[in-house]
Amino acid sequence: MAITDKPRPARAVTGHPRLPGRRRGAGKARMLPFALIAPAVVALLLIQGYPLVRLLVLSTQDFGPRSLFTGQADFVGLDNFTKIFSDADFRGVLLRTVVFTVLCVAFLMVLGFLLSHLLMGVSAWVRVVTTVCLVLVWAMPMVAATLVWQWMYQPQYGVANWLLTKLRVFGDLTAYDWFSHPTQALGLIILLTVWKGLPFVALTMFAARGQISESLYEAARLDGANTFQTFRHITIPLMRPVLAILTILEVIWSVNSFTPIWVLTQGGPDGQTTTLGVYAYITAFSRNDYGSGASIAVVTVLILAVFSIAYVRKLSAQGEKR
């Protein structure tokens, strides 16, 4: 009796089999982004990570002049932080830093937006000339700009005193020393900081404003919207990410501002223009209390980190509601 094999019905193929080579290729593709950013991460850890860790360690040590020669310092825990928080000078410096930062950032954002709006409406050659002037101001080193500012307001030969005296606006200011008065000295420092940082803010806002389609504004005008309404409902929402980045950057740069204050007043008169950056420098290098200076720097970093995280989360929540 012959045995014949009956053909079996073909089974439908529902999917491709997973081959080992394909799995390895997919794994390599997933790891490729991490491999590409790995050198940058390593560089950041070496350049920024180590100094931060060393700063944290130093803030918990009694590191003084003796430690510079011996390399040894006693561990004091949070004593440095307790000392600076109980210091009345530190509280005054912290309040002054907040006022200084708020005024600088407010002026920069308002003037930057107005200047960017002006650049949108002028002719091409005026825009080019204005942009070149802004870039030159931005490219000038801060030390050089501060020295020019110092010469302008020099009591005997400063051009600002000479001009104001000629205009008879405030009387005879031939020998007037602006930097011997705390409020006026701080005002000049704020003015210098705003003047130096305005090009970056204005040009960044101008670039962001140029990415908004004019058809949105035309449609809004056809619907009867005025300038304020288009600004509120079109310009601000679409520029919100750029405005957020600019605000965070300017807050960080204003809090850490050191060169204009140190060159113009060195924190004087009587410490009335001292901010956190200058106060940390004076504590560490003038008083030779490196541990307390490091703790002031750590507090500054923590304040900026908390502000940045809170500000970004608030903006994210507002974006989700919209």
Q: pLDDT value at position 322?
A: 59
Give domain status of residue 1, yes or no: no
Q: pLDDT value at position 6?
A: 52
Q: pLDDT value at position 98?
A: 95
Judged against a pLDDT cut of 90, whether residue 299 lies above it is answered with yes
User: pLDDT tens-digit profile of 63-92?
Assistant: 888 887 887 888 888 899 999 998 888 999
What is the number of helices (H) and of strands (E) in the chain? 15, 2
Give domain status of residue 84, yes or no: no
Dihedral in degrees, nearest 10, Cα atoms 231, 313, 108, 271? 150
Residue type, 181: H
Find the mean pLDDT for residues 151-168. 87
Provide the 10 A C-beta neighbour count for residue 16.
7
Find the mean pLDDT for residues 214-229. 84
Judged against a pLDDT cut of 70, whether residue 155 lies above it is answered with yes
Give domain status of residue 44, yes or no: no
240 neighbors 109 (Cβ within 8 angstroms): no
User: pLDDT tens-digit profile of 168-215?
Assistant: 877 788 888 888 889 999 999 999 999 999 999 999 999 998 888 888
Judged against a pLDDT cut of 60, whether residue 18 lies above it is answered with no
Of 25-34, 76-85, 221-230, which gets the smallest average pLDDT? 25-34
Angstrom distance (rounded) from CA 201 to CA 108: 7
Give domain status of residue 72, yes or no: no
Angstrom distance (rounded) from CA 41 to CA 38: 5
pLDDT band at 22 (very low <50, low <70, confident <90, very high): low
In the chain, the number of structural domains is: 1
Give domain status of residue 6, yes or no: no
Q: pLDDT value at position 187?
A: 93
The β-bridge relationship of strands 61-62 and 74-75 is antiparallel
Give domain status of residue 60, yes or no: no
pLDDT band at 25 (very low <50, low <70, confident <90, very high): low
What's 164's domain CATH number?
A: 1.10.3720.10
- 47 secondary structure, DSSP code: I
User: pLDDT tens-digit profile of 95-125?
Assistant: 999 999 999 999 999 999 999 989 988 888 9
Give domain status of residue 67, yes or no: no
Angstrom distance (rounded) from CA 14 to CA 214: 51
Which residue in this structure is represented by tokens 């005026």?
A: 126
Which residue in this structure is represented by tokens 């002054």?
A: 96
Which residue in this structure is represented by tokens 């740069």?
A: 253
pTM: 0.83
Q: pLDDT value at position 64?
A: 83
Give the domain range for residue 300: 89-321
Give domain status of residue 24, yes or no: no
Q: pLDDT value at position 1?
A: 42
Please report, rounded to a whole number, the percentage of residues in the chain having pLDDT higher than 90.
41
Of 104-118, 143-157, 194-208, 228-242, which gets the smallest average pLDDT? 228-242
Q: pLDDT value at position 2?
A: 47
Angstrom distance (rounded) from CA 123 to CA 8: 81
Q: pLDDT value at position 302?
A: 93
Residue with the bigger pLDDT between 152 and 24: it is 152
Angstrom distance (rounded) from CA 302 to CA 306: 6
